[in-house]
Homo-oligomer: A and B are copies of this chain.
Amino acid sequence: MRTMETQNRHPKVIILGAGFGGLFAARALRHSPVEVLLIDRNNYHTFTPLLYQVATSALDPSQIAHPIRAIFSDDQNIHCLMGEVTGIDPGGQTVTVEMDGGRRKEAFDYLILATGSTPNYFSQEQYREHTFDLRTLEDAIALRNHILGLFEKAAWMEDSEARRALTTHVVIGGGPTGLETAGALYELYNHVLDREFAGDRRLHTDVYLIEMLPHLLDPYPVRLQQAAREQIESLGVNVILENPVEEITPEEVVLGDGTRIPSRTVIWAAGVKGIPTPGPFTQQADHNHRIPIRRTTQVPEHDHIYAVGDVAHLTNPEGKPYPMMIPVAMQQARLAAANILRDLRGQELREFEYFDKGIMATIGRSRAVAWLYNRIPLRGYIAWLAWLGFHLISLIGFRNKVVVLVNWIWNYLTYDRSVRIILDHRSKKG
């Protein structure tokens, strides 16, 4: 029988997290003379940019989730372990993993931290209880169940004001996630559910997009910010700018100027912070739990430990931190993997240089903005097509690409959202 211990002739690289950082680090090592152990709490990689489409019933969870073992089924040197890392010993070079079946200690020669990020409530931790996030597949399914359940409830409610609160959605944060979610929520109701709930009681729905800054899509050029605002308002979403959130309760959102929006569905898309890493790195992390790294993506005091993506903090040559975005994570992950191999060969390590392909955000049917290579501005239909094409080719797995494409064409032609089932997970053995 073949076990990792007996065949461990090659140096062992442990990767924590199978998000975009961890996945691309493992991919970069798949044909190299190292044994890789990829640890994640899930058995799948999540294509997070499309979580909002799961939350709004446009895609199935499995269409944006790919089993990790399937990705590496041809790679004998990539091993997968589903569990939660609870300890890192940088000196002893081990990690401790809690898994179903007990605790394991795994030794490493190299370690890559790629644990990603979690919502940032900016010290208002109580908001966590009253808002929905879109960071995990479970978040997206919970939000889908919640929204569809409220519509079923609203359809039979006599009191018109209470009914309206059930069908009012508030999205907090005017970045790409907020914009995309607000647009998709508005379309879910106004193109799909309005037909189906017409028989009982005419429902009215409102979507609010709340942003503290005076503009949406902060890093974009002004004219694209304006284009985004025009497009989302033309869709029907209420955009409220320069108005910070004062309070969120289970019944309403209160803004800085005193505006109160009764709503049972508040989606938090205002920002993220690193997931705290167990062990000594917590002390070194910044206020957003991000670990400062060297330009080689190594952590400060341990040459054998690397950190990439949202959990790593690195500043660009102009002194600004690299944004917490997937392309940064992917490029840092590839560099970390390459540097491990260079280190093994006794070569000098390379330093991180970010190749910025630009940014894009979709707003709804035929509506989007893009800022390609930070030079080429696109808006409207052409930006939307670019967004669709880019996300389609980025999806992991040929089958997922095909099925998502079929779904998108179907949704576009029929204005349908097929996946609107409320799954009650309080099953006895679930």
Among B67, B149, B156, the residue within 8 A (CB) of A81 is B156
**B-contacting 9-mer, from A175-183, A310-318, A338-346, A422-430:** A422-430
Once the chains bind, are A399 and B410 in contact (CB under 8 Å)? yes
Contact string against B for A residues 146-161, beta-carbon threshold 8 Å, 1 for contact and 0 otherwise: 1011001101110000
Q: Which residues of B contact A61 (CB under 8 A)?
A: 60, 421, 423
- A374-407 near B? 1/0 per residue, CB < 8 Å: 0000000000000000000000010110110011
A sample of 22 cross-chain residue pairs with beta-carbon separation below 8 angstroms, ordered by A number, consists of: A2-B201, A2-B202, A3-B201, A42-B422, A43-B148, A62-B421, A67-B421, A69-B197, A70-B418, A72-B199, A73-B195, A76-B199, A78-B199, A79-B199, A80-B199, A99-B152, A101-B157, A104-B156, A128-B428, A136-B427, A137-B421, A141-B427
CA distance A188 to B245 in the complex (A): 50
Q: Mark A199-214, 1 if CB is under 8 A from B, else 0.
A: 1111000000000000
Q: B427 near A62 (CB under 8 angstroms)?
A: no
Is the beta-carbon distance between A423 and B69 smaller than 8 angstroms?
no
CA of A421 to CA of B101, assembled, Å: 19
Establish whether residues B43 and A80, one from each chain, have CB atoms under 8 Å apart when the complex forms.
Answer: no
Kindly state whether residue A142 has any CB partner on chain B within 8 Å: yes
Q: Contacts A82-B152, A152-B82, A201-B2 given: A425-B422 contact, CB under 8 Å?
A: no
A62 with B201: in contact, given A152-B43, A196-B69, A403-B403 (CB under 8 Å)? no
Query: Beyond A67-B421, A201-B3, A427-B141, is A73–B196 a contact (Cβ under 8 Å)?
Result: yes
A interface size (C-beta, 8 A): 75
A322 proximal to B (CB < 8 A)? no
Contacts of A397 in B (CB 8 A): 418
Q: Which of A60, A152, A199, A420 has the most CB of B within 10 A?
A: A199
Beyond A70-B196, A101-B153, A402-B406, whether A430 also contacts B421 by CB under 8 A is no
Give chain B residues whose Cβ lies under 8 Å from the Cβ of A252: none
- B423 with A200: CB separation less than 8 A: no
Instruction: Assess whether A348 is interfacial by the CB under 8 Å rule.
Output: no
Q: How far is the CA of A59 from the CA of B429 in the complex (A)?
A: 20
- Are the C-beta atoms of A201 and B422 separated by less than 8 Å? no
- A79 CA to B76 CA, complexed, in Å: 56
Interface centre among A139, A152, A406 (most CB of B within 10 A): A152
Q: Is A145 an interface residue (CB 8 A)?
A: yes
Contacting B at CB under 8 A, from A1-55, are 1-4, 42-44
Please name all residues of chain B whose beta carbon is closer than 8 Å to the beta carbon of A1 when the two chains form the complex: 201-202
CA distance A148 to B75 in the complex (A): 20
- In the assembled complex, A189 has its CB within 8 A of some CB on chain B: no
**Chain B residues near A79 (CB, 8 Å)?**
199-200
- With CB as the reference atom, state the residue of chain B lying closest to A414: B399
A197-B69, A429-B146 given as contacts; is B138 within 8 A of A423 (CB)?
A: yes
Bound complex: CA of A347 vs CA of B105, how far in Å?
Answer: 78
